[in-house]
Amino acid sequence: MKLPAKIFSGKEFEKILSFFPKKNSHAGLCCIAFQQDGIAIAHVIYGSDNIPVLEHCEFLSAPPAEHSKILMQYVKRQHLQGVACSLLLQYGEYQILHIEPPEVTTEEIVPALRWKIKDMLSFPASDAILDYFPMPDSTPAAKNGTLNVVAVNVAYLKKLVGIIRTSGLALKIIDISELALRNLLSIYPGESAGLGLIWFKPTFIELTITRQKNLYLNRVLIHSNSELAPLEISETANENNREDLVLKIQRSLDYYQSQLRQTSLSKLLTACAQPEILSYISGKLTVGKVEALDLQAILKCKPELTKIIYSNCLAVIGGALRARSK
């Protein structure tokens, strides 16, 4: 089973893009994610050796009111006009639901799914744009045909699409964070035997598990009450915080093995974990190996890989890796 080359790819996607003029695209793929405190952007190209090259990667600090101006300036400064672009939707910008498919034809499935999830959305189903992708073949849910259904508010999506179009980039793909992180892990050494990533973001901690290029699990382990409030899982975190984090990770690993019927992970990666937290996790979890993510193991990187890139830009790097299929 192969995950889709892109999410929101059919008529639903074209419905959004039809509101904006088409642009010609150039080499590689840019991926953009809008956040409350800035814009994450990555640009990946592939050379003759088919190894991905991270040409640009940056987090542009700016409030939402300045996103359009800041992105336009960056695109002009880096000469990215006309480059193909993926808009990456992040945690909180969409809903993803696990739904047994309705017994309808392929042409009727999106309207049928819209009706089926209408009471599960935080906004009216009539205002939603939908797409879906299957569960991995080896999971029990896949045998029932269960689908991952993604829903996003169409008015919100149009606003983000408009910002990208105005910047001079050529929007080609609308993607979601889970699938972008799956791209990143899918080319990491040892992924075929099962690989996990704990991403310590500024505002929450997220776990993603993939195996044989399939997404098996994505969970936010710890939330922040405020978008800009720092999390307290740090070098000064108390024992209770650390134990709570380890418990949530272990429960997720147990679910991956028992409910999804997979063997234990070959490796668990961490991004932006303090050394003390990395050591603590490694000593507490029943997993083969815990180590820090190294982007240079999978990419040729032109920009310096700063802590800001690791904390804010992993998903957009993964989103830009879709250039491989172009």
Mean pLDDT of 23-39: 84
The verdict on 102 and 172 lying in the same domain is: no
Please report the pLDDT score of residue 18 as a whole number: 56
Residues 75 and 215 in one domain: no
CA dihedral angle for residue 97, residue 100, residue 105, residue 110, rounded to 10 degrees: -10
- 128 and 231 inside one domain: no
Q: Residue 181: what pLDDT?
A: 97
Residue 238 confidence (pLDDT): 66
Among 6-20, 164-178, 259-273, 306-320, which is the least confidently predicted range?
Answer: 6-20
Q: Say whether pLDDT at 232 is over 60.
A: no
Domain membership flag for residue 289: yes
The DSSP bridge pattern shows strands 205-211 and 214-222 to be antiparallel
- Of 2 and 158, which is predicted with more confidence? 158
* % residues pLDDT > 90 (the chain): 62
Residues 255 and 195 in one domain: yes
Q: pLDDT digit string (tens) for 184-228?
A: 999 999 999 999 999 998 888 999 999 999 999 999 998 764 443
Same domain flag for 23 and 59: yes
- Asked if residue 218 belongs to a domain, the reply is yes
Q: Report the predicted TM-score, pTM, of the whole model to 2 decimal places.
A: 0.88
CATH number at residue 285: 3.30.420.40
pLDDT for residue 312: 95
279 in the same domain as 195:
yes
Quick one: 16 and 73 in the same domain? Answer: yes
Stretch among 24-33, 71-80, 189-198, 271-280 having the lowest mean pLDDT:
24-33
Same domain, yes or no, for 240 and 201? yes
Structural domain contains residue 303: no
Residue 236 has pLDDT above 60, yes or no: no
Residue 309 lies in a domain: no
The answer to whether residue 308 sits within a structural domain is no
Q: Give CA–CA dist 252/257, Å, rounded.
A: 9
What is the Cα–Cα distance from 35 to 89, expressed in whole angstroms?
10
Q: How confident is the model at residue 279 (pLDDT cuts 50, 70, 90)?
A: confident
The pLDDT > 70 percentage for the chain reads: 85
For the chain, the farthest-separated pair of C-alpha atoms sits apart, in whole angstroms, at 55
Contacts of residue 230, Cβ cutoff 8 Å, sequence gap at least 6: 202, 224
Q: Does the pLDDT at position 22 exceed 90?
A: no
pLDDT digits (tens, 9 = 90+) for 102-157: 888 888 999 999 999 999 999 999 999 999 988 887 677 767 778 999 999 999 99
Domain containing residue 124 = 95-151
Distance CA 238, CA 287 (A): 23
Could you tell me if 51 and 198 lie in one domain? no
Give how many domains the chain has, as a whole number: 3
Residue 304 lies in a domain: no
Does 6 fall in a domain? Answer: no
Q: Sorting pLDDT into bands at 50, 70 and 90, what band is 324?
A: low
Summarize the confidence of residues 235-260 as an average pLDDT.
84
Q: Is residue 160 part of a domain?
A: yes
Reported as a pLDDT band with limits 50, 70 and 90, residue 280 is confident
At residue 87, does pLDDT exceed 80? Answer: yes
Q: Do residues 202 and 68 share a domain?
A: no
**Residue 166 and residue 231 in one domain:** no
The verdict on 41 and 171 lying in the same domain is yes
Mean pLDDT value across residues 219-239: 60
